Amino acid sequence: MASSSSMDDVILFCHSSTYQLGEQVADIARNRPSGKKIDFRKDVQWKKFPDGYPNLFIQNIEDCVGKNVVFLGSFHSPEVVFEQISLLYVLPRSSIRSLTFILPYFPTGTMERVDTEGQVATAYTMARMLSAIPLSAMGPAKIVIYDIHALQERFFFGDNTLPHLSSAIPYFVKEIEKLVLEGEPISIAFPDDGAHKRFQKYFTNFPIVRCIKRRNGSLREVSIVDGSPQERHVIVVDDLIMTGGTMRKCIETLSANGAAKVSAYVTHPVFPQDSWKKFTHNGCLENLVKLDTFWITDSIPHANEISNHQPFKLLSLAWSVHDVLQNIVQH
């Protein structure tokens, strides 16, 4: 059946791992009739051939002709990258008006430079693959990435794509402002200079505790170089977390230096091999340090499961994705 969307409305496709987030975005749009209509579709069949390679089919592809198309994807695992890039290469050839690719987590972002001969900058490789997305009627595809690990990676993309770097931090700020109204003495801590440089501009109304990390052989050492956590509810802010070694050391250091409470926030809860379990109230943080709250977003699909366990609390990207789409999709 033909779509009733107008030229200015949006057809939203999702990878099978992002259906929940896509439905939330569409629900927000339905309750805000003044904005663009978002026509949420589950028309992509994400199947596989017996050999494991993708067997994809887009139902009702003719509905996309002349429309603004958005694909909400997730590169949380190497095995799902090829099937999504295959879809991205096909959509512009279906006479769509424009293409926007929402990729909340840019997974190769931590490998963006070569320090030693022989290293491979996989962030550049991924950007080149995405830069090969064909042009649509309105020109280059837009790629929306949240809290990218290294800002200079936007220059890795070619002229066929327009990277749009967004942040979930402003939505987190609204969350902690509620705590301030309840009387919580909030301070913000950064675990290293990188996080401080990227995110300090969002927290000008809060006292800052700046930490640095050093490696002593195989050990990580974290120390405070600026600000005091004394008698404060200190929230450690960073873009992503892997196994959590630096975060654990930062939490312990803040607690040992007099913090009344310690919490944490990351946009991307990568947590390979279930390393998130080390931060639960039944986990193994050293020195019996108890983490008050650990805010995460659903930039990676498994965040929904992690958030079922204390002290984790989910801040959905749905509102942010909705607002980005309202602003970035061309009229």
Is-same-fold flag (10-167+318-328; 169-298)?
Answer: yes
Q: Say what the pLDDT of residue 264 is.
A: 97
* CA angle at 306 for the pair 320 and 83, rounded to the nearest 5°: 65
Identify the CA nearest to 100 among candidates 62, 144, 63, 64: 144
Q: Say what the pLDDT of residue 2 is.
A: 40
Q: Return the CATH fold of 10-167+318-328.
A: Rossmann fold (3.40.50)
- Quote the CA–CA distance of 142 and 120 in Å, as a whole number: 26
**What are 206-229's pLDDT values in tens digits?**
999 999 988 776 677 889 999 999
Amino acid at 57: F
Beta bridge partners of 134: none
Identify the CA nearest to 277 among candidates 248, 237, 236: 248
Beta bridge partners of 150: none
CA 129 vs CA 8, 29, 160, 161, 190: distances in Å: 28, 31, 11, 11, 33
Q: Say what the pLDDT of residue 34 is.
A: 76
Name 243's Cβ contacts closer than 8 Å, sequence gap at least 6: 271, 272, 273, 275
Question: In the chain, which residues have pLDDT < 70?
Answer: 1-8, 217-218, 282-289, 329-331
Residue 296, sorted as left (phi over 0), alpha (psi -120 to 50) or beta, turns out to be: beta
* CA angle at 300 for the pair 272 and 136, rounded to the nearest 5°: 130
Sign of the dihedral through C-alpha 113, 105, 310, 227: positive
Q: Say what the pLDDT of residue 84 is.
A: 98
Domain boundaries, the chain: 10-167+318-328, 169-298
How many other β-carbons are positioned within 10 Å of the β-carbon of residue 4?
9
**What are 247-258's pLDDT values in tens digits?**
999 999 999 999
Residue 66, sorted as left (phi over 0), alpha (psi -120 to 50) or beta, turns out to be: left
- The CATH number of 169-298 is which of 2.30.110.10, 3.40.50.261, 3.40.50.2020, 3.30.70.1400? 3.40.50.2020
Q: Say what the pLDDT of residue 284 is.
A: 52
Q: Say what the pLDDT of residue 33 is.
A: 75
* CA angle at 108 for the pair 221 and 143, rounded to the nearest 5°: 130
Q: Say what the pLDDT of residue 217 is.
A: 67
User: For residue 228, which phi and psi values (nearest 5 degrees)?
Assistant: -130, 130
CA dihedral 106, 110, 116, 118 (to 10 degrees): -40
